[in-house]
Amino acid sequence: MESVAEIRFEDKDLFERWSRVREDFWGDLKKETVRALGRLLESSLEVEVQDLIGSGRWEHNSGRWTYRNGWYERGLMTGLGYIERLRVPRVREGGIRWKTIPRYKRRSKDVDDMVIEMFLAGVSTRRVEEVLRPLMGQGAISAGSVSQITKRLDSLVRKFHDRAIRDEYVYLILDGIFLNAKSPAVKKRRCILVVYGVKRDGKREMIDFYLAPKGESQNAWEHFLNKLYYRGLEGKHLRLVVIDGNEGLKNAIELVYPGVEKQRCWAHKLRNVANKVPKKLQEVCINGARDIYGAGSYKEAVWNFKEWARIWRPVVPEAVECLEEDIEELLNFFGCPEEDWRRLRTTNIIERVFREVRRRTRPMSCFQNRESVERIIFAIFYRLNQKWENRPLFKITQNS
């Protein structure tokens, strides 16, 4: 018979054996921890009953006003796991207002807090159940329960919309995104207007968002920007506002922030130009137009534009006119520090945020109501702002 000393284990065997030992150990420890917590809660409930009655079990007391009446079993989800058969005492007359476990409460507060933190961290409502299952057992929590828990965010959403804003932004990037949401009558696309800001110290922030009732109209943008203005965003330090080609947005900015330069997005404009060029010429024409914003100075950009226009006006006059009508606002970014040019000549910086919004909302074909839209957008913005808090945007600093 082979002795222990003669037994040889390979690294793979040792790893598998240790994994099984560790899994069994932690599994047993977790079960015992949940049982111990159950016993502790049952003891606390018994103490509450004893204080209510004024007598211990099987004690005679002429001053008591009620008697024990057995117990019933209920389940409770806790941060340590699910307690299946928690024994809750009953009394003959009247109900008991428990301090240990509130009546009808099926989850402890730490579970709700955990779900909220996961939702804010980017986990979808459907994925929360999958994540919690290994930690708390099968059927720990449903997607419907997660949705109910996340309604606690509504008060935070209102505070976010109503908070005072410090007037410390040098650049604003404005745009909108559409999501499907149900109204009382039909499903409709809802437009979310978004303001992204870069502060004087280089830190970026999602400042706020607004669910516009009728798309990206001038009235919607005016309402949104005016609200930001009266909350403190007066624009005293603004150097530039970056926008797409929406005329309503342009007019709203001229009304609310009349002295601030506007930068039209080159990506949006070049798509418009490409639509006016025959397909076989699009690549050559658009590559030539890119030399305009890629110039090393404002004067060089103007010269590049004139050369591009001279070459292409006889071939595609409508395309040249499309670029020419907005060329002044397309070159406003040259008035900012050179290290900021690349980030300010398009709205790509906010489009990256929209990609995160689409990623989070893709599994949700349609939101049930306005409040559910607000919660998910707030969660995304909250997470991004937390992520950016100590990470200034590259090279956009107070000294630039």
The pLDDT value given to residue 390: 79
Provide the pLDDT confidence category of residue 25 given band limits of 50, 70 and 90: very low
- 109-120 and 370-388 helices, crossing angle to 10°: 80
pLDDT in tens, 115-136: 777 767 666 666 776 766 665 5
φ, ψ dihedrals at 87, nearest 5°: -85, 120
Provide the pLDDT confidence category of residue 288 given band limits of 50, 70 and 90: very high
Of 364, 358, 382, which is closest to residue 117 (Cα–Cα)? 382
Alpha helices in 231-297 (DSSP H): 247-256, 266-274, 279-293
Place of tokens 């211990």: 56
> Residue 265: pLDDT above 80?
yes
Provide the pLDDT confidence category of residue 9 given band limits of 50, 70 and 90: very low
The residue-averaged pLDDT of 15-19 equals 52
Alpha helices in the chain (DSSP H): 11-53, 109-120, 125-136, 143-150, 154-162, 218-230, 247-256, 266-274, 279-293, 298-312, 317-324, 327-330, 341-344, 348-361, 370-388
Over pLDDT 90: what percentage of the chain?
Answer: 39
The lowest-confidence range among 91-100, 131-140, 145-154 is 131-140
Question: ∠381-383-388 over CA atoms, to 5°?
Answer: 90
The residue-averaged pLDDT of 63-90 equals 64
pLDDT averaged over the chain? 78
pLDDT in tens, 312-353: 999 999 999 999 999 999 999 999 999 899 999 999 999 988
